[in-house]
Amino acid sequence: MGAIRLAELPFDIIDLIISAIPSHRDLVSLAAVSTTCKDLIIPRHTEYRRLRLEAPHPEVWAHLAQRPDLARNIREVTIREGAPGLGPSEFTGPERYPIALVEAPSQSHPAATVASHICQALRNMDALRNFTWVEAWHPRGSFYNMPNYHHDVFQALKDSKSLVQLKLLDTMDIHDAVNVEDYPLWHIADLQTLILRPLVYWPLAGLKSMLLRSPNLQNLDICLPAALPIFAECRFSQLRRLHLVVSTGSIGEQVIAKFLEHHHTIESLHWYPKYETTLRLSPGSLPILKRLITSPGFACSILSDLTVPNRAIECVSQLSVDERTLSILDSINTSQLRDLRVWRYAGLESINLVAQRFPQLTHLEIPKFGIPTRIDSDNDYTIDDYILTLSKFSSLEYLLDSSIWSLLKLAGEEKIASLAALCPNLQRLGHFNTQRSAYVDIVLSRDNGIISWREEIARSQE
């Protein structure tokens, strides 16, 4: 039997095959193969992979509620309640929703009808994997005063057979109804990624119930008021990434330390313990750790564990660059180290020593770099000296945070060009813009020897 052409298959089979392609880029590439492929893919699939909405868009939700054959192709949903422009900075992308097949609204829809359509649309999304809800409890949200709205959305997510990532980003108080034990949020199961922030209050009993339903969790990013009931009882055999913001005492931090000791699969840890000077992990803990973002004392205690000498660290933050820290770094495997965040350093010469030991660094953070330290106060370093030091990091691509940009601007475009020339791989310089009250990146461009730059909101960096 000869090979069967795609166009010769029944439509349902073709549609099923195309539905298995998650990437929008791959869909567009396939659509370019032939007119037949184009007609099959655009817009039926190209507009139905990711949904990102700031406004209610009742016509979109009505469409997705009434067309389960199209809604089933959606993989990712991000909903932002409240007024556009408000809320956590994680919501930075433009709105994205179907257009071509959506009928223009002929009349206004009552809020209850739109809410019903949202829930039905979510139930129609058989392939939904990622759900992000930004400012779900914002008082300016269109459905804030609708008593069952949040319950019904979480019920639809609970019933989903495909959901593996849930992200809730909010700064508002959650509804009292969430405290109920049988609230559907706490019964969402089999997640691989759970991100809950920056709320400082989550009902611990409900949260523990939810975590216990996802024993194969790989990514946990959470803000908690306390730690004991959660970390004393939960175990995740596949946990890879852990980001914690926990308000707890020394006893609670010891519980978290025990939790870390039981999870040898962790590759990325982001946690700043308050009692770092007394906190220690047992030897052999975190054997495959690659990324470590924590306080200087705790970082050194982990890195100085010589029972895991082959642990290939890729990122370390925050470190105080001194003789002891450099000695610890010299004693471990730093062949994969590409990202170093410095909290404090002894003087410019200590940064030169870092460059000498780790010229392969692509990411570097030194918040006070450009401001003379006490040791350097008598050395009269100029902007050229700081540029020269940076040039010794021959692979540097991103200076995440420093104070050098203000000096460069004062010195003029010539010094900016000098930095770009001496650091040919440097693409971004991060700094805090006081006028915008935000961290921003200076993006360098090189075009036929001409250096230009622009400013944009900084990328999220862990």
Q: What is the pLDDT of residues 422-444, one digit of tens each?
A: 999 999 999 888 887 888 999 99
For the ranges 186-190, 192-196, 204-208, the lowest mean pLDDT is seen at 204-208
In a domain, 373, yes or no: yes
Is the torsion defined by CA of 405, 410, 416, 422 positive or negative? Answer: negative
Extract the tokens encoding 71: 């809604």
Extract the tokens encoding 456: 């944009």
Average pLDDT value over all residues in the chain: 88
In a domain, 73, yes or no: no
Cα 196 to Cα 287: distance, rounded to the nearest angstrom:
27
pLDDT at 92 over 80: no
Contact 72, 19 (CB under 8 A): yes
pTM of the model: 0.88
Cis status of the peptide bond prior to 225, with omega within 30 of 0: no
SS3 call for 453: strand
According to the model, what pLDDT value does residue 282 have? 95
Task: Indicate the pLDDT class of residue 34, thresholds 50, 70 and 90.
Answer: confident
Determine the average pLDDT of the residues in 392-400.
96
Contact 218, 243 (CB under 8 A): no
pLDDT at 148 over 80: yes
Computed on alpha carbons and rounded to an integer, the radius of gyration of the chain in Å comes to: 26
In a domain, 231, yes or no: no
Q: How many of the other CB atoms lie within 10 Å of CB of 436?
A: 10
Is the torsion defined by CA of 83, 87, 91, 92 positive or negative? Answer: positive
Give the residue with greater pLDDT, 226 vs 166. Answer: 166
Cα 351 to Cα 394: distance, rounded to the nearest angstrom:
14
pLDDT at 359 over 70: yes
Task: Indicate the pLDDT class of residue 84, thresholds 50, 70 and 90.
Answer: low
Q: How many of the other CB atoms lie within 10 Å of CB of 265?
A: 14
In a domain, 392, yes or no: yes
Distances in whole angstroms, Cα of residue 1 to Cα of each of 7, 11, 378: 17, 21, 85
For the ranges 79-83, 88-92, 404-408, the lowest mean pLDDT is seen at 88-92
Distances in whole angstroms, Cα of residue 159 to Cα of each of 152, 156, 166: 11, 5, 13
Nearest in space to 60 (alpha carbons), one of 100, 21, 89? 100
Contact 397, 362 (CB under 8 A): yes
Cα 417 to Cα 407: distance, rounded to the nearest angstrom:
13
According to the model, what pLDDT value does residue 140 have? 84
In a domain, 310, yes or no: no
pLDDT at 86 over 70: no
- Amino acid type, 118: I
In a domain, 112, yes or no: no
List the beta bridge partners of residue 196. 168, 222
Extract the tokens encoding 142: 């269109």
DSSP label at residue 99: -
Q: How does strand 339-345 pair with strand 363-365? A: parallel
Extract the tokens encoding 186: 């706490």
Is the torsion defined by CA of 125, 129, 135, 136 positive or negative? Answer: positive
Final residue of a domain: which of 47, 66, 82?
47
For the ranges 70-79, 183-192, 303-312, 332-341, the lowest mean pLDDT is seen at 303-312
List the beta bridge partners of residue 340. 316, 364
List the beta bridge partners of residue 453. 444
Please report, rounded to a whole number, the percentage of residues in the chain having pLDDT higher than 70. Answer: 92
In a domain, 69, yes or no: no
Cα 185 to Cα 207: distance, rounded to the nearest angstrom:
9
Nearest in space to 97 (alpha carbons), one of 76, 82, 128? 76
Tens of pLDDT, residue by residue over 216-255, are 999 999 987 666 677 888 899 999 999 998 877 888 889 8
Cα 29 to Cα 18: distance, rounded to the nearest angstrom:
12
Cα 157 to Cα 187: distance, rounded to the nearest angstrom:
9
According to the model, what pLDDT value does residue 449 have? 83
pLDDT at 6 over 70: no
The total number of structural domains that make up the chain? 2
In a domain, 438, yes or no: yes
DSSP label at residue 88: -
Contact 368, 432 (CB under 8 A): no
List the beta bridge partners of residue 320. 344
List CB contacts of 171: < 8 A, sequence separation 6 or more: 87, 88, 135, 198, 199
Which residue range forms the structural domain that includes residue 371? Answer: 348-462
DSSP label at residue 87: S
C-alpha torsion angle, residues 437, 441, 442, 443 (rounded to 10): -150
Is the torsion defined by CA of 202, 208, 213, 219 positive or negative? Answer: positive
Q: How many helices (H) and strands (E) does the chain have?
A: 16, 16
